[in-house]
Amino acid sequence: MNEWKKFDVITKGDGMWLVDSNGNRLLDGVASMWCNVWGHSKKELINAMIKQTRILQHSSLFNLTNDQAELLAEKLVKISPGMRKVFYSDDGSTAMEIAIKMALQYWQNIGIKNKTKFVTLENGYHGDTIGAMSIGYVPLFFSKFKKLLFPVIKTPTPHKYRMPKGFTFNEYQEYCLERIEKTFVKNNDLAAFVMESGAQIAGGIIIYPLEFQKKISQLCKKHDVLFIIDEIATGFGRLGSFIEYKEQKSIPDIVSYGKMLTGGYLPLAATLTSQKIYDSFLGKYSEMKHFFHGHTFTGNPLACATALTNLDLYEKNDLISKNKIKTRQFERRIDEISNLSLVGDVRHKGMLMAVELVSNKNKKTLIAPDKKIHQKVFEEAKKHKIYLRTLGHIIMLVPPLAISTKELDFLLDGTIDIIKKVTKRL
């Protein structure tokens, strides 16, 4: 923190651009932490917020309900294959905490007391609260808190760029799946398998090979292990499909949504589950099967009204289909970016791209922390009128989904020039 003496003050949003107190404009290259869909001044979302503010700002879901929460729940169930019930929260971490607790209590409620352990993929990330850190343990972020976390079984992720020696990529995929099945066979006390849907994001942008997720879902069903999907960062079009688990042909028992649910305008998350899971929580009060969990702003009508308008805009604007053009726009620049001397690997899917910077391309050597590559990229990006944040040595391009093709070219051109300038500085 000592190295960041001050931050620019953002005073206004204008489409895909952020404007600071000095009038400088920055293209939002990370969708304000991966959540913005339409840019920062979408009138339909603003009007929905204003309209709902005049009617009902907040009312608790404890022994009550509200029309916006009800309507949104119906909408989410309609677009989410296999899901029947919705539990609201405020952000991705809490949505995943809810998923963990639901899975654990499900087995307790049906009388199977020993199923208490979780299996997850290495490099997976699911948030910053205690349970989320446990199932999504990224050592760089969380090693200082390890004593607080509960033990989780980790299985390898098929990372093509950084896989162990002695494998072809196809062989390594099979190895990863075999490790998962062996874990299922060896342990009869597993509550659930947890994974991000389609790709790992904060763990380094690792995009799964075709059918990897589908095969895991099949293994879960075969071995009676609940399947929990995290679509907080990867759902609602980030990877090119509206509901990513549908694209992956892997129906979960529990799924969590967040980030782009409100278009990035208000905090809201949701944990959806199947009828089977929900039914296990039904019973007489004396049985204590109910779910002891809730948040002050659960089902907030302002956020739900905004989310409803956001989801309607997807349909009205045919956003997912239109973004196929921009997906190809990313693809056309991969070779150009890959040929830069500092670039080890480029990973891309949909409206997401990761550029991994290395000090030696042949050896895939990580750039030393004392080079402060994250800071150099951020500062150089500002000079190019772009707001970028890196994951250490990995540049992430995660623009608002509705970015124009012209603005996307500006982002891609700028990123290439930023890398060239940073290379000279190093």
- Please, which pLDDT band fits residue 2 given cuts at 50, 70 and 90? confident
Rounded Cα–Cα distance for residues 19 and 40 (Å): 10
Question: Is the pTM above the cut of 0.85?
Answer: yes
- Give all strands (DSSP E) within 328-422, no chain letters: 343-349, 352-360, 365-366, 386-387, 390-391, 394-397
Q: Which 3 state secondary structure label does DSSP give 345?
A: strand
Question: Would you say residue 1 has pLDDT above 90?
Answer: no
Question: Would you say residue 49 has pLDDT above 90?
Answer: yes
Return the percent helix, strand and coil in the chain, to nearest 5.
40, 20, 40
3-state helix/strand/coil string of 8-53: CCEEEEECCEEEECCCCEEEECCHHHHCCCCCCCCHHHHHHHHHHH
Q: Please state, rounded to an integer, the average pLDDT across all residues of the chain.
A: 96
Q: Which residues contact 162 (CB under 8 A, 6 or more apart)?
A: 364
What whole-number percentage of the chain has pLDDT above 90? 96
Q: Are 28 and 254 in contact (CB under 8 A)?
A: no
- Please, which pLDDT band fits residue 330 given cuts at 50, 70 and 90? very high
Q: How big is the CA angle at 342 (ends 323 and 365), to the nearest 5 degrees? A: 110
- Please, which pLDDT band fits residue 349 given cuts at 50, 70 and 90? very high
- Please, which pLDDT band fits residue 208 given cuts at 50, 70 and 90? very high
DSSP lists the bridge partners of residue 353 as 348, 397
Q: Which 3 state secondary structure label does DSSP give 60?
A: coil
pLDDT in tens, 248-306: 999 999 999 999 999 999 999 999 999 999 999 999 999 999 999 999 999 999 999 99
Question: Got the DSSP string for 251-298?
Answer: --SEEEE-GGGGTTSS--EEEEE-HHHHHTT-S-GGGT-S-----TTT
What whole-number percentage of the chain has pLDDT above 70? 100
Question: Would you say residue 232 has pLDDT above 90?
Answer: yes
Average pLDDT for 332-348 = 97
- Please, which pLDDT band fits residue 24 given cuts at 50, 70 and 90? very high
Rounded Cα–Cα distance for residues 60 and 69 (Å): 11
Question: Would you say residue 311 has pLDDT above 90?
Answer: yes
If we measure between CA atoms, which residue out of 114, 109, 134 comes closest to residue 124?
134
Question: Would you say residue 3 has pLDDT above 90?
Answer: no
Q: Are 66 and 305 in contact (CB under 8 A)?
A: no
Q: Are 44 and 402 in contact (CB under 8 A)?
A: no
Question: Would you say residue 198 has pLDDT above 90?
Answer: yes
Residue 4: predicted pLDDT? 83
Rounded Cα–Cα distance for residues 194 and 297 (Å): 26
- Please, which pLDDT band fits residue 140 given cuts at 50, 70 and 90? confident
Residue 5: predicted pLDDT? 84
